[in-house]
Amino acid sequence: MSNPAFVSVPWVLANFEAPGISIIDGSWHMPAAGRDARAEFSEKALPGAVFFDIEEVADTAAALPHTCPTAEQFAHAMPAMGIKNTDFVVIYDTQGLFTAARVWWLFRLFGHERVAIMEGGLPAWEAANLPTSPGEAPALQTEPYSAAFNDALFASYRDVDGAVRAQDVTIFDARSAGRFSGAEPEPRPNLPSGHMPGAINIPFNLLIESATGGFKSKDQLRNIFGDSLSIEQGIITTCGSGVTACVLALALYHLGITARVYDGSWTEWASQPDANIRVLSP
C-alpha cells in the first residue's frame, strides 16, 4: 500500500493547479438531511474542483441506492468529469470525512490507485482561510478512460451470506449502536434494524476526531477495532447502504489492511424475504 490514504490541506494548496492533479468534491447527504450536495458545490467549492455524484456514477438500473457502477459505467463517467487514468485524484467532502471515503473506494475498486483524501475536507480548507469559488462544470476529457474491477475490494450478498454461515470472515458494521442492536429504526422505511449474525459494531463516527474531522491516531484506531482485527481471516465492512462502510475500509487501509466493502449493505441484507437478522436484548 504505497499510496497514502490522505494528503494535507497545505499539500493541496501547493499542488491543486499542477498538471495531472484532479480535485473532486465527493459530497452526498442522506435524504432526510434536506440538503443538496450538488447545489452546495455550485455555490462553494475548492478552486478547480469537479463534482462526483454517487447517485449518478452508479448502476442506476439497480433497485438499491447508489449501487456500485460497472467498470464500463465508471469508465464512461470519468472523461465527462475531466479525469484521466494518470491523474492523481484528491477527494474531499463538506463534512470532513464522510462520503469522500465512498468516492475513494470507487476509484480504487476500478483500478485507479493514485487517489487520496484531503484531511479534514472543506471545513479544514475554510478553517485555514483559503479561497473557495462557485463550482463549475469540468472541461471534457477526450482521452478514453480504462477501468478494471478489483474483486479483492468488493463483497456481494452471496459473499456475505457465505461468510455469515461459515463464520470465517470478520464483519464490521459502521451503523450506529442503536440501529445495530435493533433498538432504533432504520432511516429507510419498512426496513428492520438489527445486524448480521457474528457482525461487530464499529460506528464510523468513533473513528473520527471531532476537532479535525479526520481520523484519530493509528493506535487509537487499532484500539477501537480491537482484537477482532484479523488480517488472516479476512474482513468485510458493511453499513446502511455502502457509504460509511467505506469509512471503515479507509481506516483499515490507513492501518495497512485491505477490506472488502459490502456494497448492498444492510439495505440489501434486511430486504431479503428470509433475512437472517439478530437483535440485542434491551
Catalytic annotation present for 239:
yes
Question: Quick check: is 280 in a domain?
Answer: no
- Shared domain for 129 and 175, answered yes or no, is no
Q: Are strands 260-262 and 200-201 parallel, antiparallel or unpaired?
A: unpaired
Give pLDDT tens digits along the chain (282 positions): 468 899 999 999 999 999 999 999 999 998 777 899 999 999 999 999 999 999 999 998 888 889 999 999 999 999 999 999 999 999 999 999 999 999 999 999 999 999 999 999 999 999 999 999 999 887 777 789 999 999 999 999 999 999 999 999 999 999 999 999 999 999 988 999 999 999 999 999 999 998 888 999 999 999 999 988 876 789 999 999 999 999 999 999 999 999 999 999 999 999 999 999 999 977
Residues 170 and 133 in one domain: no
Question: Cβ neighbours of residue 153 under 8 Å, at least 6 residues apart?
Answer: 105, 108, 109, 249, 258, 259, 260, 261
Give just the sign of the alpha carbon dihedral 267, 115, 132, 137. Answer: negative
Q: Examine the fold and report which residue of 90, 123, 148 is the final residue of a domain before the chain moves on.
A: 148
Closest by CA to 192, choosing from 264, 281, 278, 263, is: 278
Do residue 30 and residue 11 come from a single domain?
A: yes
Are residues 229 and 127 located together in one domain of the fold? no
The percent helix, strand, coil of the chain (3-state, each to 5) is: 35, 15, 55
Give the CATH number of the domain where residue 47 resides.
3.40.250.10
Which of 148, 178, 210 terminates a domain? The answer is: 148
Q: Are residues 141 and 161 in the same domain?
A: no
Q: DSSP character for 83?
A: -
- Which residue among 77, 153, 235, 239 is the active-site one? 239
Bridge-partner residues for 60, per DSSP?
A: none
What is the reported pLDDT for 156? Answer: 97
Indicate if 226 and 198 belong to the same structural domain.
Answer: yes
Strand-pair category, 6-7 with 50-51: unpaired
Quick one: 101 and 208 in the same domain? Answer: no
Counted domains in the chain: 2
Query: Which of 119, 148, 177 delimits the end of a domain?
Result: 148
Residues 141 and 211 both lie in one domain: no
Q: Assign 237 to helix, strand or coil.
A: strand
Q: Identify the DSSP state of 228.
A: G
- Would you tell me how many other CB atoms lie within 10 Å of the CB of residue 59? 15
**Per-residue model confidence (pLDDT) at position 2:** 64
Whose cell is 462502510? That residue is: 245
Claim to verify: residue 45 and residue 142 sit in the same structural domain: yes
| 180 and 127 assigned to the same domain | no
Q: What is the value of pTM for the model shown?
A: 0.95
Domain that holds residue 212: 152-269
Predicted confidence at residue 1, as pLDDT, reads 47
pLDDT for 229: 84
Is 282 a domain residue? no
Q: What is the pLDDT of residue 198?
A: 96
Kindly state whether residues 144 and 156 are assigned to the same domain: no
Measured distance CA(204)–CA(2) in Å, rounded? 24
Q: Which helix (H) or strand (E) holds 235?
A: strand 235-238
